[in-house]
Chain A
Amino acid sequence: MTDDVARKIIAIIAEQAMLEPHEVARDASPADLGLDSLGLVEIVFAIEEAFNISVPFNANEPSASDFDISSVDKIIAAVRRLIAEQA
């Protein structure tokens, strides 16, 4: 589903990865897109700003966070959940 939430997130990821939005594959992982840990931290910050939510993400232990960042789709799904929870 490509709605406003997905479009915004993809735009944020694309900007950080220095890609065009259409180049961001939905099943791509951050590593596939050339994003390092600092890039990921910037994306989390930009998402928090864009949706006015708080993202539970610890850069020390990304996989242990309650926020799945393993692919673009997973990030979008996690953000949707946070928006619903924190509305």
Chain B
Amino acid sequence: MRRVAITGLGVISALGANRAQHFAALREGRCGVGEIDILDVERLSVTIGAAVKNFRAEDHFTRSELALYDRTTQFALLAAREAVENAGLEIDAALGLRAGVAMGTALTGMETIDANYRAVFQEGKNRVHPFVVPRLMTNAGASHISMAHGLKGPGWTVTTACSSSNHAIGQAFQMIRGGGADVMLAGGAEAPLVFGVIKAWEGLRVLSRDGCRPFCATRNGLVQGEGAAVLVLEEFERARARGARIWGEIVGFGMTADATDIVQPNADGAARAIRAALADAQVAPEDVGYINAHGTATAANDRTECAAIRMAFGAAADGVSVSSTKSMHGHCIGGAGAIEMAAVLLALDEGVIAPTIGYTTPDPDCDLNITPNTARERRVDVALSNSFAFGGLNAVLAVRRV
């Protein structure tokens, strides 16, 4: 079977406008969560989020482009551009036919929906801008990436809530492995920090009002973030032949459904996804040095995820480093797995385990090595990235150092 290299990474998040800034913040354990500045924030009871700082779309795109690009698409395009540059990839006409794009987005162009619902319902307007449909559609990011980079092979968008981008990356990995493409841009994007979305999440009562503290006994909910990350996945021999810098090799992908509850996570479903990824990668739990946890800082997720890791890893659970970088960049929903892949590559490439910050008090139900507060150095040969979605759809990726 063909092997799959990661040759490029682009990131935009609350931690930085590019990969280097995001990495620096991960090493330093810097927090990107703060008070959000959005329309009608005074009507929200939750007013914190992990927003991309000082972002001016007009610095990156023309006026006519912005008529078509929701904030979600803007982030997706910027991350894709950085990833392709990082890979040093020239996509000519011939490669374009063998290259594709797979993106994960859980919601859709919510900035566009919010603004236009406001216009027709609140302001009583009777017409909206003609591009509302192409601007808000969930696949807009993937489509614009295909146009920007001439990717004429497979292209699609996955929407599986909080595991969307792990599903996208995993399916893109399988697409290359199975011979359906030679290069895939794969990742995810989300821009959920608008009034309507936060109001909806408030209703579910799982948002924290004071910060994201995964695995900590004081945790009281998740904090939403925004941003995007895109990987360049490339058939391994092709990447090696052109002398590309290889960040790591995707070696396994496991996906399962809990088939139990629309919101409550299930340890068995998560453990089966972890086992499936390890089996696909032909890796033993003892070989895994780092797990980037889903770690949302909800009471249920963190407890269930730790139980799942114990179920899948057995005694090896005590030896693996675990962290949730959501403590820094928030929960980027459909973009989460892609943005968290940055922490996986940091671990493989530099031997730096990004920390779980904001941790003060141990929780006996979360008694793994969760890398509290400061990064630690550790050589990592294989790392996992967990994503477990509302609706019980789980996706775990295994990546090996090359």
Contacts and interface: CB of A to CB of B under 8 A. Distances in A.
B131 interface: yes
A45 interface: yes
B284 interface: no
Residue picked from B67, B130, B131, most chain A C-beta under 10 Å: B130
A65 to B, nearest CB: 14
B127 interface: yes
Contact of B131 (A38, A48, A49, A54): A38
Contacts of A42: 67, 129-131
B127 A44 contact: no
A6 interface: no
Nearest to B68: A38
Contacts of B127: 45, 48-49, 54
Nearest to A54: B127
State the majority secondary structure of interface residues on A: helix
Contacts of B130: 38, 41-42, 44-45
Contacts of B67: 42
Nearest to B125: A49
Interface string B371-395: 0000000000000000000000000
B118 to A, nearest CB: 16
Interface in A9-42: 18, 38, 41-42
A80 to B, nearest CB: 20
A48 B129 CA distance: 10
A21 B96 CA distance: 40
Interface in A45-72: 45, 48-49, 54
B61 to A, nearest CB: 15
Interface in B127-160: 127, 129-131
Contacts of A49: 127
B8 to A, nearest CB: 31
A49 B123 CA distance: 14
Interface in B89-129: 127, 129
A43 B129 CA distance: 10
Contacts of A44: 130
A79 to B, nearest CB: 15
B133 to A, nearest CB: 11
A21 B37 CA distance: 37
Interface of A: 18, 38, 41-42, 44-45, 48-49, 54
In order of increasing CB-CB distance, the 5 nearest A-B pairs are A41-B130, A45-B130, A48-B127, A42-B130, A45-B129
Given A38-B130, A38-B131, 14 more contacts: A18-B64, A41-B130, A41-B131, A42-B67, A42-B129, A42-B130, A42-B131, A44-B130, A45-B127, A45-B129, A45-B130, A48-B127, A49-B127, A54-B127
